[in-house]
Amino acid sequence: MRRIARLCYIFFTAWRFGLLPLLRDVLKPGLRRSLLSVLCWISPGKHLPRGERIRLTLEKLGPIFVKFGQVLSTRRDLLPEDIANELAKLQDQVPPFSNEESRRLIEEALGQSIEEVFVSFDATPVASASVAQVHFGVLRATEKHPQWAGQAVAIKVLRPGILPVIDGDLALMYDLAKIIEKSSEDGRRLKPRENVAEFDTYLHDELDLMREAANASQLRRYFVDSKKLMIPEMYWDLCHTNVIVMERMYGISIGRTAELQAAGVDFKKLAADGVEIFFTQVFEYGFFHADMHPGNIMISLEPETFGRFISLDFGIVGALSESDKNYLALNFLAFFNRDYRRVAELHIESGWVPAETRVEELEGAVRSVCEPYFDRPLKEISLGIVLMRLFQTSRRFKVEIQPQLTLLQKTLLNVEGLARQLDPDLDLWKTAKPILEKWVDKQLGWRGLIDGLKAEAPMWAKILPTLPRLLADTLAQASQQQKKVESGELEVLKALLLEERRTHRLLVGALLFAGGFLAGILIITLGVH
């Protein structure tokens, strides 16, 4: 009953914000389409642009649908640009849960009272989202950790009772996806069920705060000596699946540009550093922060760390394989060298384009996407948009774009937007090219060969002493195999010889019989005469 009521509310909200025409247009002519047409005529939101209609509907339906829209905005290879741009505006605006509930959850997770763990604890959350909210506090020293004394921390608490709500809304999303998929060819092209399944994975990953803590810890390890990026340290003894405690970071949100400018932050350097940090994460480590919006990025104003980036909220991260990194780096380099044939070849070599695809045909499609950008200054070229266009072109050739790449493309668009907000004259290619070239040289040049040999050295050290024995065993096996072959050949020869002898005897017998028969006829003939 509750599920039916929720479905009715979704339908009403879609009608209120003028979303039903979008559903009507994908339906085949019939009674359902006629009924929807009548409802569309009296919809209050029918005059709004379609992207805005979708965004307002998702915002009204609640945080889970908002988060789904955020994830869906990453699929620019599937969505029209106006819808993807509007969905990118979605922000979590969720009221916090009660202070009493927050204290209870923290104490249950830590197994101690708030006062035993913290010298002070701010019950009023500093941030509240669809999945969790954050409090500030100061740690108390323990016998095991005396260094904790006076350490300022941030405590992230998972929203209570969130799992049943998520599962209920996900079940409805799957139902709606099936309806959309069955309604039209366009509905099937958008792959609604696959997108809901992808969102399901993302959301359940975010429900495990230990996973987020592990993501943060790994990125911190990569950038521990960095002069450009700071990542909070995790207090592992205080981390659980629904509560994590981390180092408190001090800074100003990157979106508050007026305050940063007043503090004397160099925006040109900040923009270049941001791009370098992102490309280093992607190509150096293949592990990147995939939720880089202003709410998750701060700039330090402390004297010893002035102007450094501070990353927060690691619930969503992207990971790339070596082949993914190769593909992306070489594609970017080929694009800026205007080597469209190489771009087409890379698409085919990656295995994402059917092997029978004609290189010339794909080359022409890529050229039509890329060539217009070279009429502009390099600083005006968006790598994110280029990547998106290439994905859209690839779809014509039946390419299945991998989720990690769409996540990368969305993150790249965010990084570009933030960087150019800080420095409108930023030449993204000038900043990114040295990083890409360095990585390509490291992976595919002499350095790559040397590094590969170094990486394999421990394995070779283990294998080399056994090579004589392995060689002897191989030769012995070959000798035995040869003997078996020779033995088999001997048996075959014996069988052939026996068969030959049998045939010879039969032939001799036949000849004797024929000779005797002829001799008998001759004797009878002579006797008669």
What are the tokens at 247?
A: 């180092």
Q: From CA 153, how far away is CA 122, in angstroms rounded? A: 11
| Strand 287-289 with 252-253, pairing | unpaired
Given the residues 291, 313, 324, 423, the one annotated as active site: 291
Instruction: Return the closest-CA partner of residue 397 out of 355, 340, 367, 342.
Output: 355
- Backbone φ and ψ for 368, nearest 5 degrees, come out as -65, -25
Residue with tokens 């994905």: 391
> Active site includes 291?
yes
Nearest-CA neighbor of 127 among 159, 89, 150, 101? 159
Residue 306 and residue 36: Cα distance in Å, rounded? 58
User: What sign does the dihedral 398-404-407-409 (CA atoms) show?
Assistant: negative
Distance CA 450, CA 443 (A): 10
- The percent of the chain in helix, strand and coil, each rounded to the nearest 5, is 65, 10, 25
- What is the spatial distance between Cα 401 and Cα 27, in angstroms, rounded to a whole number? 27
Taking residue 356's Cβ as centre, other Cβ atoms within 10 Å add up to 6
Q: Specify the length of the chain in residues.
A: 529
Q: Which residues sit opposite 153 in a β-bridge?
A: 137, 247
Query: Which run of H or E residues covers position 458?
Result: helix 446-463
What is the rounded distance in angstroms from the CA atom of residue 174 to the CA atom of residue 194? 9
Sign of CA dihedral 192, 197, 202, 208: positive
Give the other-Cβ count within 10 Å of 419's Cβ. 21
User: Any idea which residues carry the catalytic annotation?
Assistant: 291
